Structure 1
Amino acid sequence: MNTLRLQARFYKLRTNKAFELFVISVIILSAMMIGVKTYELPVQVEGAIRVLDFAITLFFLCEISVRFIGENRKLKFFKSAWNVFDTAIVILSLVPIENSEMAMIGRLIRVFRVLRMVSIIPELRMLLNSLLKALPQLGYIGLLMFIIFYIYAAIGTTFFASINPELWDNISISMLTLFRVMTFEDWTDVMYETMAHYPLSWAYYLSFIFLTAFAFLNMIIGIVVNVLEDERQKIAALKAKKEASTQPSLSDLQAQLEEMKALLLKQQK
């Protein structure tokens, strides 16, 4: 009985909005501490940060314990990939990193604690899940983009290698140059250099920019937006289904009315 009461209290605590906001605040504080450690600090400040980091680690351990104990079905807790990720990060953060051979790994693990923000905030989870579900479609666009890059890099190497070997010497360097063109990083300097020898080479760059920076990138944005909208509709449908299951149906209400009528008739008789 005490166990059930403790579980109910922890479940109420883990679903409390104030508790969630406090956890988010601690995660933000942990992220700020990671940035502060990159600066040269006085010895006293480093000691205070070390103590604060230890306190944050203990808080995360308590928080994950509250979430685990508050779960009705303990095995269901570990069926969620985010719960497994949070648990692994918290447990690995307990490894002491000061003056040890695993100091670098320990610091990297503490950097990943910032990702716990995704597991806490549902909207961030939805965005990341949408991105993961869009990866198969994005893979085909990436393959097609690679083909376009390869064709244009081969053309660029053939015509422009003698003009500037640093940019067009071989197909791999040419692909890097084209990536620079696609991101508009001083691409006009590259174009004007080749136009001095091939006046019509502007068509080469403009057609490449149109295909990659405009067409393909907009296709990527469209796919991600469509998948995100599908995820929102699924979540809305699940919420509506859950609310409908908690509310009595029309047949149930009619049955209750019939029972009440029967009781009233019995009382009148």
Structure 2
Amino acid sequence: MNKVGPLARRCRRITDAAWFSTLAFVLILANAAVLGLETYAGFKARYDAQLTVVEDVFLAAFAAETVLRALSHADRPRAYFRDPWNVFDLGVLLLAGLPFAQQNATALRLLRLARVLRAARFLPQLRVIIVAVGKSLPGTVSFLLVGTLLLYVYAMVGWVFFADDDPQHYGSIGRAALTLFLLMTLDGLGDAVRGGLEISRWSIVYFASYVLLASFVLVNLLIGVVIQSLEEAHRAEARRERPAADTDAERLRDRIATARAALDDLEEGLAELERETAGGRQERPRVRA
């Protein structure tokens, strides 16, 4: 344990340094650029051997980064796995080494593409957005269920009233649902309303109520879910950064306490030296007498 502690502290100093994060981010961007170049068949055919070497260099660099981050948590391994980005990095690295990934070109490309997603680790705002998307999933599922129910009801009503006169858009439940789904974005709403008015003047109630519920109420509800998730993600990011600040403050307090203890020892030593010096001065006259 005594050997693990200093090793973890040394690796932590490296991984916490600004240059380390900058270097890792630059490597991710370079890897993304190389992946883009490989999509050009002529370039890949001409420099295939060089691209393979470059990919091996990237893989070695990312493996070294992952090992350093793991070693920086050697004195507290559980903390390493509490960070989802650490688990993601480790998973991508391990999966890339499995035989099925090496033999499957599509899986290997997807894993290499996943490494590009690691750029979010070094961009706090992007990290907040990704966390917000994850937190908004339960609310989004509820939104989709309500939206599907609303779409189904209005599609059935549209089929009942408009199927005979407009079979191209309402001839079946599927066509009616597709038409209404496109109308949810208000695209082609004017043409749909004009076509409905040619069938019946009461169709305006149908389209007005649908647009009100689907395009305004539901969309605003979804926006509210996303905004709430963004606020929760911001608070989670603040809590994530606070332990690091608390740790730095604790280290500073420990150093101050150590310095104060050293000063106290120094003052006691000086006081003892003064007392010994004063005692020696008082004894000298008695010797002469």
| Normalised TM-score (structure 1) | 0.78
Counterpart in the other structure of 1:28: 29
Which whole-Å CA distance do the structure 1 matches of 2:54 and 2:239 have between them? Answer: 43
Counterpart in the other structure of 1:91: 94
Counterpart in the other structure of 2:159: 157
2:214 counterpart (208, 212, 215): 212
SS of the equivalent of 1:162 reads coil
Which whole-Å CA distance do the structure 2 matches of 1:158 and 1:188 have between them? Answer: 21
Question: Which deviates the most, 29-38 or 1-10?
Answer: 1-10
Q: C-alpha deviations, 1:44-97, integer Å up to 9, x for none?
A: 234333322222111111111111011131233123333222111112223578
Which whole-Å CA distance do the structure 2 matches of 1:45 and 1:135 have between them? Answer: 43
Counterpart in the other structure of 2:141: 139
SS of the equivalent of 1:78 reads helix
2:229 counterpart (224, 227, 231): 227
Aligned residues of 1:191 and 1:205 also touching (Cα < 8 A): yes
| Paired letter, 1:89 | V
1:50 counterpart (41, 46, 52): 52
Counterpart in the other structure of 1:63: 65
How far 1:218 sits from its partner (Å)? 1.4
Counterpart in the other structure of 2:150: 148
SS of the equivalent of 1:183 reads coil
Which whole-Å CA distance do the structure 2 matches of 1:145 and 1:111 have between them? Answer: 33
Counterpart in the other structure of 2:277: none
Q: C-alpha deviations, 1:180-206, integer Å up to 9, x for none?
A: 111234343344333332344344333
Q: What is the RMSD of the two structures over their aligned residues, measured on CA atoms?
A: 3.4
Q: How many residues align?
A: 256
Which whole-Å CA distance do the structure 2 matches of 1:241 and 1:55 have between them? Answer: 34
* Structure 1 residues 64 and 236, CA gap change in structure 2 (3 angstroms): closer
Question: Which deviates the most, 47-56 or 15-24?
Answer: 47-56
* Structure 1 residues 191 and 242, CA gap change in structure 2 (3 angstroms): same
Which whole-Å CA distance do the structure 2 matches of 1:241 and 1:59 have between them? Answer: 28
* Structure 1 residues 25 and 188, CA gap change in structure 2 (3 angstroms): farther
Which whole-Å CA distance do the structure 2 matches of 1:80 and 1:244 have between them? Answer: 18
Q: Which runs of 5+ in 1 are unaligned?
A: none
Counterpart in the other structure of 2:41: 40
Q: C-alpha deviations, 1:113-145, integer Å up to 9, x for none?
A: 222223343433333333323333333333222
Counterpart in the other structure of 1:115: 117
Aligned residues of 1:133 and 1:227 also touching (Cα < 8 A): yes
* Structure 1 residues 237 and 36, CA gap change in structure 2 (3 angstroms): closer
**Are 1:10 and 2:7 matched, yes or no?**
no
Counterpart in the other structure of 1:171: 173
Aligned residues of 2:159 and 2:171 also touching (Cα < 8 A): yes
| Paired letter, 1:174 | A
Aligned residues of 1:57 and 1:93 also touching (Cα < 8 A): no
Aligned residues of 1:97 and 1:107 also touching (Cα < 8 A): no
Which structure is larger by alpha-carbon Rg, 1 or 2? 2
Counterpart in the other structure of 1:188: 190
| Paired letter, 2:85 | W
Which whole-Å CA distance do the structure 1 matches of 2:230 and 2:133 have between them? Answer: 8
* Structure 1 residues 195 and 111, CA gap change in structure 2 (3 angstroms): farther
Question: What is the aligned-residue identity percentage?
Answer: 25
Structure with bigger helix share is: 2
